[in-house]
Structure 1
Amino acid sequence: MKKITLLFILLIITSCTQKEQEQTIIQQIAEANGFENFEDVEELRYTFNVKVNDTLRTSRAWTWNRKTDEVTLTTPDSTVTYNHKTEAAANEKTDQRFINDQYWLLFPFHLVWDEMEWEHSEQATAPISGEQMQRITVTYPDGAGYTPGDMYEIYFKDDHMIREWVYLSGGSREKPFATTWEEYETYKGIAIAKMHKNAEGSFELFFTDVSVK
């Protein structure tokens, strides 16, 4: 009986230790990108751009007041200002764009912020470079945000900086969408990947006019 009890205790300790290590990996990805500095940010400005086959398809500028949650979207056609916390439902289309664009900008922090399920693999083959990296697979539960059920496979090296990811819409693997994470720059202690490309280079999602106050 004592041997069984001791074995049971050891299994619990091992399980808890493994879970703590997994949680540390998630936290380390956020911290590697300057998560501890984000609470000091008062305002973010950035322009979200998408280029397909050398043609600029999308360009929209954002100003996000972190203290008031006031968000301003500026496009070539219009300017919209609303409160992300209290007026999102009344500005759903704009808010969806805000979440999408800000997600690309600050995804490492969403690993800490968001409700999600995830699992960690110590070794996996990155889809674009073919390099061996670590991988976190993230799944959003039903009812979470604007796109419940979405999955992401995040590939990173020992410095915990994301190098590539794969987006799986609704969790389906029929049309995986893989891009790089590159051209990192640091703003007030926050690291931002300013360029994302697909394997062929025909798709580029990039940020310009980035400012952190």
Structure 2
Amino acid sequence: MKNTFLILCVIAIISSCKKETPTGTDKETTTLSTAQRLANTAGLKSWNEVEEIKFSFNVGKSGKTVLTRNWTWNPKTNNVQLIALGDTINYKRHSKLDSLQISSDRAFINDVYWLIPEFKLVWDQGTTITEKKSQMAPISKDTLDMISILYNKEGGYTPGDAYDIYYDANHKFKEWAYRRGNDSTPSMITTFEKFETIAGFTFATDHRSPDGATSINFTDIEITKTK
């Protein structure tokens, strides 16, 4: 990959985060959309039970961890805590934030997108979703179905971006390609690996660049549900 990959993988997901509605599933209909099935496979139906989620977002390069952000998030109250580089930052999402908190929230949106991209297919507004069957995945070259999400040109940090997500017959994400500004050439491609099921939610805890040298991975995932 180009030298820009490490920067892209950290900021790419920030670019297309729009208004969020993390309220679990909508009222069920007879026929679920592909996006809903993908999200349900990852555990979306139980999201309303989550009181708190903790996780560490890590970036690895050539076998060394070069960035770690530790998060504590209460989705019901929108309270967030970030611990990184020896600093602790607390804030309440969707409230008035100072410049440091805004920067932290951008990182939070990025890291959450990597953790639960399946849910973003359902939560995010201002998007267009399209589907294609039997597409060649860019890394493995496997034949997989593809769902694409395109963010509109208004709102967000850098609007107009797109993601092509390749998934298997079990509705698990296997690879994705990020296309800045809906360009035909991907700016970033990674795998989805090392799936773990925690408190009823399934996460891909590792993402690898095509050459395997760069990793976006998650550790220390803890979920507290309503008792």
Name the TM tier (shorter chain): 0.7 to 0.9
Give the ranges of 4+ consecutive aligned residues of structure 1 lying more than 4 Å apart after TM superposition.
Answer: 20-23
Query: TM-score when scaled to structure 2?
Result: 0.81
Q: How many percent of aligned residue pairs carry the same amino acid?
A: 34
Residues 15-34 of structure 1: pairs in structure 2 closer than 5 A? 24-34=33-43
Partner of 1:131: 142
Partner Cα separation in structure 2 for residue 161 and residue 175 of structure 1: 21
Distance 2:30 2:159 in 1: 27
- Cα distance in 2 for residues equivalent to 1:171 and 1:157: 24
- Indicate the SS of the match to 1:205: strand
Q: Which deviates further from its counterpart, 78-87 or 141-150? A: 141-150
1:174 shift after superposition? 4.1
Counterpart check, 1:108 vs 2:118: yes
CA distance in 1: counterparts of 2:32 and 2:131, whole angstroms = 10
Corresponding residue for residue 69 of structure 1:
78
Larger Rg: 1
Partner of 1:165: 176
More helix by share: 1
Cα distance in 1, alignment partners of residues 80 and 30 from structure 2 = 36
For 2:147 and 2:164, locate their aligned partners in 1 and report how far apart those are by CA, in whole Å: 6
1:29-64 CA-to-partner distances (Å, cap 9, x unmatched) read 000101001110000100000011223221010000
Greater relative contact order (Cα 8 A, min sep 6): structure 1 or 2? Answer: 2
Q: How many residues align?
A: 194
Q: For structure 1, which runs of at least 5 residues remain unmatched after alignment?
A: 1-19
Q: Which runs of 5+ in 2 are unaligned?
A: 1-28
Alignment of 1:97 with 2:97, yes or no, is no
Report what 1:147 is aligned to.
158
2:208 to 187, 197, 202: 197
C-alpha RMSD over aligned residues: 1.8
